[in-house]
Amino acid sequence: MKTMLAKLWKAFRFPKKFQLFVMRFLQDQFLVGLTGIIFNDKNEVLLFKHVYRAHSWSLPGGYMKAGEHPKEALEREIKEESGLVVSVDEQLKTRTDRETARLDICYVGVFIGGDFSPSSEVSEFGFFSLDKLPLIRKNQLFLINEALTQRT
């Protein structure tokens, strides 16, 4: 189902509100979105180049499935979308969306290994230092800065 939705988002470039509407329709009550700030041993941040987003580079993430712990869900999403293995360690921030039935949880973790494999959602990956980040959304830059502040 997820792969089919990703292909539709890419092909038709549906607006974000429509995407969320469809996701909510397919979910029971509300969505739990997960975002990961994953560091390598050089303190660089993992970013994915998503095929369906306006800002193609962004932090890895996804949605939790019923019965999953949020940390496990984020580790699963990253592995499914890229083949990369990470360890999700600490919760950084939780945000609720007052307009929609959605909860977003951001975690900080570390890169363990694995070989990158492109998927229907992610075409590239990279580790970036703060001064070499590609164009990303401001709220994600804020989260990266928060995580870096806590690490030092």
Assigned token pair, 95: 């945000």
Catalytic residue among 44, 68, 72, 124: 124
* Contact yes or no for 107/70 (Cβ under 8 A): yes
Q: Which residue spans within the chain are E strands per DSSP?
A: 31-39, 45-50, 57-58, 61-63, 85-97, 102-113, 122-128
What is the three-class DSSP state of 74? Answer: helix
| Closest to 33 in 3D by CA, of 119, 139, 145 | 139
124 is catalytic: yes
Assigned token pair, 137: 């959304």
Q: Which residues are catalytic?
A: 124
